[in-house]
Amino acid sequence: MKANRTVRDFEVALMNLLLTTSFERITVDQICDEALLHRSSFYRYFHDKYDLLEQALGAWVERIVDQTATEDDLIEALVSQIEANRAMFSNLANGGMRSSFSAELVRMIAEILLARRQTPSQNTIVVALKKAENPEMLAYVLSGAIMGAFYWWQENNYHVPKAEVVTFIKRSVHGLVQ
């Protein structure tokens, strides 16, 4: 129980820091200070801040997945969360597709998608990953599509209506997995 609380405290600390600071500038010491936990506790659970980010994003996606019934609901929920947390996601994606961190985010999302493949879900993406000849490649293609749409929306200062972004992502994902 304590381990879960400690991990959650580090996740919350990172997300709080992302409200005002780009991920590339956040240090482990800042995360520990924000969480009110010692640096040794951080390294007991995580290799580095990228490991924490992957854990935090994974937990975030899991919460959204658990609250949605269909793939379309999931896409709508993800886009809504990105819109509601613009500052955090802007600081996470600082530098756009040209950032060296962009490839790391694509990898993280692909890993989260691949992990979902182990669940007994009827979600179209999960089913497609289970049936794919090369599930890892499909996960990276889907992840790249998701990140590309997000970066495009961000570069357009979120002026494109959310409903248009949701519709586009739904059509794109359906086209990729069918």
Residue at 1: amino acid letter: M
> 114, 136 in Cβ contact below 8 A?
yes
Quickly list DSSP for 109-131. HHHHHHHHTTS----HHHHHHHH
pLDDT at 124 exceeding the cut of 80: no
Residues 6 or more apart in contact with residue 49 via CB below 8 angstroms: 14, 23, 26, 27, 28, 31
Whole-number pLDDT of residue 100: 56
Full-model pTM: 0.75
d(CA 136, CA 109) in angstroms, rounded, equals 11
pLDDT tens-place string over residues 46-88 = 999 999 998 888 888 778 877 776 767 778 888 888 888 888 8
32-41: which pairs have CB atoms within 8 A and are 24 or more residues apart? 35/9, 35/10, 36/9, 37/6, 37/9, 37/10, 37/13, 41/6
d(CA 111, CA 54) in angstroms, rounded, equals 9
